[in-house]
Amino acid sequence: MNSYHTFVREFADSLNHAKRAEPESMKTRHLPDSSSESPRVLLFSPHPDDECIVGLLPLRMAAECGCHIVNVPVTHGSDSLRQAPRHAELMEACGYLEWEVAPGPVAVGDAPYPPFEPEDVGVVLKQLQPEVVFFPHNRDWNSRHLWTHTLLMDALRSRGAEGACTVVETEFWGAMDDPNLMVEATPDHLGDLVTALSFHAGEVARNPYHRSLPSWMVDNVRRGAERIAGQGNASPDFMFATLYRVSKWDGHTLTPLPPGTLPASQSPVDLFLS
């Protein structure tokens, strides 16, 4: 057997080993304390679990810049029987990550967790005054991801210059043609995200995408190397990464930042808060 066969077999063995892993007992990661003066970052998640999948940069912003991360679950999914369990799973996942969860709209009728509407998003933006806002890009395939993009852009436009901030567009179901930031994940970063994602037990039981998250991040390095640095450029010495599109929003226009990478050795403060 040649060395590449060994590599593939060991890779398959590691995935099989992960099938036997159990969610960690609830314990937080002891991040630095944030205060009311900490930069506030809002992560608008189309469903519970999206916050873990695209959460590398918020994870690093909290740990390395002291940012206060607030996850906003825009919906709790379309299955009414799963909404309450999904909320409980979300609270466990965000509890592990030490992220706040924004309260949703008031329950109406038989829908305990109704989706956010434009006026709800506007209230959250006005109350929390975020420096940075995360939400899916406009071609992220899944209908709720596309709807969340439209919802956020409409809310930002309605606030005008008062809502000026940094906008970070995310991807998962549909890859961006023009990401402009590749963020490196260390094994510890990725381990935290996979652990948090495992708390979404009902979802990963039907589709164990927490175990494939490392593979997705490996492929992001391959794709990001040329999507961001340009066709024909060499890949950086990263093992794992997430791709984003970062822009400045002035109340009227999104102006993308120049393409770049954020290695583990560089703090996000250099990009967002300097």
* Domains detected in the chain: 36-272 (3.40.50.10320)
pLDDT of residue 196: 96
Model pLDDT, residue 36: 62
Distance CA 74, CA 151 (A): 10
**HSE, side-chain direction, 13 A CA sphere, residue 262:** 27
**Average confidence score pLDDT of the chain:** 91
For residue 32, pLDDT over 80 is answered with no
Contact 112, 42 (CB under 8 A): no
Which residue type does 176 have? M
User: For residue 34, is pLDDT > 70?
Assistant: no
Top pLDDT among 34 and 41 is at 41
- What's the pLDDT score for residue 107? 75
Q: Which residues contact 72 (CB under 8 A, 6 or more apart)?
A: 42, 43, 44, 45, 101, 102, 116, 121, 124
Look at residue 29 and tell me whether its pLDDT is greater than 70.
no
216 falls in which pLDDT band (50, 70, 90)? very high
Measure CA 241 to chain center.
Answer: 12
Compute the average pLDDT of residues 157-177.
96
pLDDT value at residue 23:
62
pLDDT of the residue at 31: 55
Q: What's the average model confidence in pLDDT over 47-64?
A: 97
DSSP annotation of 108 reads B
Helices (H), 160-258: 187-198, 201-206, 209-229
CA dist., res. 182 & res. 148, Å (int): 22
Distance CA 189, CA 194 (A): 9
**pLDDT for 249-274, tens place per residue?**
999 999 999 999 999 999 998 777 65
Tokens of 47: 């469903």
75-90: average pLDDT: 93
Distance of CA 187 to the CA centre of its chain: 17
C-alpha 125/C-alpha 229 separation (Å) is 33
Q: Are strands 68-73 and 165-170 parallel, antiparallel or unpaired?
A: unpaired
Q: Which residues lie across from 133 on neighbouring strands?
A: 42, 167
Given a cut of 60, whether residue 26 has pLDDT beyond it is no
Among 37-41, 53-57, 67-71, name the one with the lowest average pLDDT.
37-41
Cα→Cα distances 28→3, 25, 54, 186, 192, Å: 40, 10, 19, 18, 10
- Secondary element (H or E) of residue 261: strand 260-262
Q: For position 106, what pLDDT does the model report? A: 77
Token pair, residue 164, equals: 């000026």
pLDDT band at 225 (very low <50, low <70, confident <90, very high): very high
Q: What pLDDT sits at residue 131?
A: 95
DSSP single-letter state for residue 135: E
- Amino acid in the structure at residue 33: D
